[in-house]
Structure 1
């Protein structure tokens, strides 16, 4: 994780330099002024890279070093259990249908949100409490 944090922090410095360069370049290009959309997007990308880099660097201090932090490590050194993942779930389908209806509501009319919101809420509720009820319930 230490290396990943360094990569993201380095990327954030690069994106910051490019945001400043882009902002100055578009401001002096003889146009009407600063090109706001691209400059804003680059500064937001800088913020996202900095947040991720800081999180990874902060977390790396609290966890053991992994195989990715050892330059002598082999690929097999990182093998093993990665965590628990749901074997199957219908909840993402519910969220996708509700999200699709919500985006269609933006196009065709906000009244469609009355149908989308309950579907989205059912999907979120089902996904959060998936392992507290039914056949996947933990004993």
Structure 2
């Protein structure tokens, strides 16, 4: 994780430099200023900085993995990654609700009133799907 944090940190610095250069370049152009690209680059810098900080902060708290060892083999990272639900309908509910909510941005904000309950039901079901029914752990 330490290496990934450094990669994202370096990428964030590169994007910050490019955002400043792009902002200055478009400010002095003959067509006027262009704020959307500059804003997008600064937001991309913020996202990369957040991810880099998270990875660097988490790397201090967990054991170093095979990715941090330059002499590691690919097989050193083999094993169980985590638990993933084998059969869940909740992502479908989240996708349908998200699609309806994003269509609300296009056609009218009133569609959010239809999409938001579907999103909340899907999110609730996904979080608590192993706390009820036949999948309940005792």
Is TM (by shorter chain) over 0.5?
A: yes
Q: Is 1:119 equivalent to 2:121 in the alignment?
A: no
Partner of 1:70: 69
1:40-59, aligned counterparts within 5 Å? 40-59=39-58
CA distance in 2, matches of 1:70, 1:63: 14
Residue 28 of structure 1 deviates from its aligned partner by 1.2
- The reply to whether residue 27 of structure 1 matches residue 27 of structure 2 is yes
CA separation in 2, counterparts of 1:119 and 1:125? 10
Following the alignment from structure 2 to structure 1, what is the Cα–Cα distance between the partners of residues 30 and 62? 52
Deviation of the 1:79 alpha carbon: 0.5
Report the counterpart of residue 12 of structure 2 in structure 1.
Answer: 12
Instruction: Give the alignment's Cα RMSD to 1 decimal.
Output: 1.5
Residue 40 to residue 104, structure 1, CA distance change in 2 (3 Å): closer
Aligned to 2:95: 96
Matches of 2:13 and 2:5 in 1, distance apart? Answer: 12
Match of 2:59 in 1: 60
TM-score (norm 2): 0.91
- Displacement, 1:116? 2.5
Q: TM-score, normalised by structure 1?
A: 0.91
Alpha-carbon displacement from aligned partner over 1:34-65 (angstroms, at most 9, x marks no partner): 31100011011111111111111111111111
Q: Against the structure 1 CA distance between its residues 31 and 112, is the aligned structure 2 distance closer, same or farther, given a 3 Å change threshold?
A: closer
